[in-house]
Amino acid sequence: MFLRELTMSIDHIKGAGPASIHALARAGITGVAGLLCRYPRDWEDRSKTILLKDFNLSPVCTAVRVLAHDWFGFGNTKALKVYVEDESARAVLVCFNRSFMDKVLLVGNYYRLWGVFHYKFGELQSSTFEVEALQKKRDGEPGMGESSGSADPGKQSTFGRILPVYPLNTGLSQGMLRKFIQQALAQYAGPVEDELPRDIMIRYGLLPKSKALKAIHFPESLEELEKAKQTLIYEELFYLEVLVGRRAMERRAVTGSRGRGNEQAALRLSPLQQRLLERLPFSLTSGQEEAAAEINRDMERPYPMARLLQGDVGSGKTLVSFLAALRVAEQGGQAALMAPTELLARQHAENAARLLEPLGIRPAFLTGNIRAAGRSALLKSLAAGEIDLVVGTHALFSRDVAYNNLRLVVIDEQHRFGVVQRQAVMAKGDHPGLLMMSATPIPRTLALTVFGDMDVSVIRDLPPGRKPVRTHLARESNEAKVYDFVRNELAAGRQAYFVYPLIEADTNRGLKDAESMAVRLGESVFPDYPVAMIHSRLDEEEKRKTMEHFRKGDIRILAATSVVEVGVDVPNATCMVIEHAERFGLSALHQLRGRVGRGTDQSYCFLVYSDALTDEGKARLKVMLENADGFVIAEEDLKLRGPGHIAGTEQSGYFVLGIADPLRDASRLEQARSDAFSMLERDPSLSLPEHRCVAQVLNRAPPFGNIGL
């Protein structure tokens, strides 16, 4: 029997009553398999003695004698102090809200003690501890609460072994999970079959599945725990990579009337691509050239393209996607370019009209805000194939939109789309190529997992002539100096962004907001220059007009929220002032700073911070001050925040595997990948049963369903 086949409900477990079954169900645990897959988040080694004197090495695990009781405080705040000693030192157990402990910890008796200790008020103290009687209780004393031991023969001691610590939800307790999981293991784990191929288990010395399951919850030793972890981690990654590999094979198996496999043609730019480049006032950077060539090669292949184009803010990814669209149009196909905001989509549409229309390309702009007559006419021409490139928001893939011959889907700022239904997008054409663009660098290991089926191009260089943005930190109380500096830039004909964390005033939060500051900047700080405001709550028409005026230079100062974070491109703007900068994440700061430094003039970014700055805020601003490279900033971000927090991936569940973490387990991941791929190569029809934790990822976390997988 495989683990996933343990579908019987929790009430098959001895001792599980309705209340606990309900609490488990609320935490999403309904069957035995789910219970066994509730892996601990940590383990406490209570098998070894750690004396009180070693309290700063780890939690203490020792035997103590109770010396005395002492009460302190009054009324409701009255609390008990219990003085104890072991062979190395004396200490105090502080019992808040546990005044019954005076009946549990009896003076003169011996107990096992586990606890986290600190020095406080000259004493070695703990208020987080557990005890268990070592000696028989005296007659007539009630056996209460923590003094488990002999009182409840069914309950196992929490001492003398390695104890699992589970992630909890409301209604769940450690004791309950430990009890039920132990019981479930005893009833069901024995016959659980291995899911990994034998030769792989032997090669890496992995544990049999049933043993790994027991050991992950209740290991006999730390060595056994480590083996159990390695086994289960590898298993998940292997199954994941089999899925990735199979998807890759399926894509390559799609053939038809697409690329002609003409390597020669792939190496050359197509006639329209060439004409576009001739019309540009600059030439491609080598990164752009390479990416364009890789895409051309993809398009000559018989199977559809799936490529991720990474390039830092301002590296010119849009142009690369236009080149791809041109090639598609030349071959009689249609391309769709999707951007995460209407603002950005409109900017792309305007650029497409300016750059591509003169070449005979018929571009169009489609968002959810285009209604009635205009929309239906547009949809008609799209369906009739009278439009070659349509630019828009996710409205491009709403139900009533039909394409004549959709051959290329470009998703810009891919990380900004929480949930893109890849199926819905791809179903608009007959296996169209997919080009995803992102300025958020994704570490290689993650790219392997999530974009496992995608090829990756990276643009590492920026267009020449760009001067690095000069970044300055300024205290809020020094903002007048920043304003003076910006005034000089305005006098020299340039423009400025001011970015705030809030749209409107919120007196409770004591933060500046875009609305009030737009008024203040216009009336008192820069009365000689036109100021406008932009944020997500304005209607689209107003946003459009504001951006147009700003781009033309009729508006010189834009008071904004982070709506301007994505993609906005106004080369004459040389100042980016971010107020309450400590409130923004590193990737947002990097994106915002990327809005300036887009022309040939020297640009500046001011990070204005509140006088009360936390250490973490300080560290983040320092990263911005010292680094310009988005890849480095992303790595620093990762270090500051820990894995699982890569910009743009927090909510998206990239990391929701059972126990494996693609970042932490990077080398295992690559191993599992190569094992899985070579197995598929040997046996393309290889069919593995569905893996419980991996299947959950696919069902629960949409990005896997919509991106690589």
Binding residues for Mg ion, per CB under 5 A? 567
Minimum CB distance to ligand ADP, residue 415 (Å) = 13
Of Mg ion, ligand ADP, none, which one does residue 40 interact with (CB within 5 to 8 Å by kind)? none
Evaluate whether 659 touches 229 at the Cβ level (below 8 Å). yes
Find where tokens 């020297």 sit.
602
Of Mg ion, ligand ADP, none, which one does residue 692 interact with (CB within 5 to 8 Å by kind)? none
Of ligand ADP, Mg ion, none, which one does residue 367 interact with (CB within 5 to 8 Å by kind)? none
Q: Which of 58, 68, 193 is nearest to 114 (CA)?
A: 58
Return the number of the residue (318 or 671) whose C-beta is nearest ligand ADP: 318
Minimum CB distance to Mg ion, residue 523 (Å) = 34
Return the number of the residue (333 or 567) whose C-beta is nearest Mg ion: 567
Of ligand ADP, Mg ion, none, which one does residue 660 interact with (CB within 5 to 8 Å by kind)? none
Return the number of the residue (311 or 708) whose C-beta is nearest ligand ADP: 311
Minimum CB distance to ligand ADP, residue 451 (Å) = 18
Of Mg ion, ligand ADP, none, which one does residue 197 interact with (CB within 5 to 8 Å by kind)? none
Return the number of the residue (284 or 633) whose C-beta is nearest ligand ADP: 284
Q: Which of 593, 561, 563 is nearest to 576 (CA)?
A: 593
Return the number of the residue (131 or 335) whose C-beta is nearest ligand ADP: 335
Minimum CB distance to ligand ADP, residue 598 (Å) = 5
Our CA dihedral for 426, 427, 431, 435, rounded to 10 degrees, sits at -10
Q: Residues in the site for ligand ADP, rule: CB under 6 A?
A: 282, 284-285, 288, 311, 313-319, 439, 463, 567, 569, 571, 598
Q: Which of 290, 368, 407 is nearest to 540 (CA)?
A: 368
Of Mg ion, ligand ADP, none, which one does residue 316 interact with (CB within 5 to 8 Å by kind)? ligand ADP
- Helix, strand or coil, per DSSP, at residue 497: strand
How many beta carbons lie within 10 A of that of residue 146, not counting itself?
Answer: 17
Return the number of the residue (88 or 351) whose C-beta is nearest Mg ion: 351
Minimum CB distance to ligand ADP, residue 572 (Å) = 11
**Alpha-carbon distances, residue 468 vs 414, 462, 568, 598 (angstroms):** 25, 10, 18, 10
Of Mg ion, ligand ADP, none, which one does residue 540 interact with (CB within 5 to 8 Å by kind)? none
Of ligand ADP, Mg ion, none, which one does residue 314 interact with (CB within 5 to 8 Å by kind)? ligand ADP
Minimum CB distance to Mg ion, residue 437 (Å) = 7
**Tokens representing 58?**
């780890």
Our CA dihedral for 510, 516, 522, 524, rounded to 10 degrees, sits at -50
Return the number of the residue (143 or 599) whose C-beta is nearest ligand ADP: 599
Minimum CB distance to ligand ADP, residue 271 (Å) = 20
**Alpha-carbon distances, residue 482 vs 108, 154, 478, 565, 596 (angstroms):** 69, 70, 7, 21, 16
Return the number of the residue (352 or 518) whose C-beta is nearest ligand ADP: 352
Q: Read off the amino acid at residue 347.
A: Q
Alpha helix positions (H), 268-394 = 271-279, 286-300, 317-330, 342-356, 372-384
Minimum CB distance to ligand ADP, residue 662 (Å) = 26
Q: How far is CA 420 from the centre of its chain?
A: 15
Minimum CB distance to Mg ion, residue 171 (Å) = 46
Return the number of the residue (570 or 608) whose C-beta is nearest ligand ADP: 570
Of Mg ion, ligand ADP, none, which one does residue 598 interact with (CB within 5 to 8 Å by kind)? ligand ADP
Evaluate whether 473 touches 579 at the Cβ level (below 8 Å). no
Q: Which of 574, 540, 543 is nearest to 557 (CA)?
A: 574
How many beta carbons lie within 10 A of that of residue 19, not counting itself?
Answer: 10
* Residue nearest to ligand ADP as judged by C-beta position: 316
Phi-psi category of 640—alpha, beta or left, where left has phi over 0 and alpha has psi -120 to 50?
alpha
**Tokens representing 319?**
């142009």
Return the number of the residue (176 or 284) whose C-beta is nearest ligand ADP: 284
Phi-psi category of 122—alpha, beta or left, where left has phi over 0 and alpha has psi -120 to 50?
left
Minimum CB distance to Mg ion, residue 444 (Å) = 22
Evaluate whether 129 touches 77 at the Cβ level (below 8 Å). no
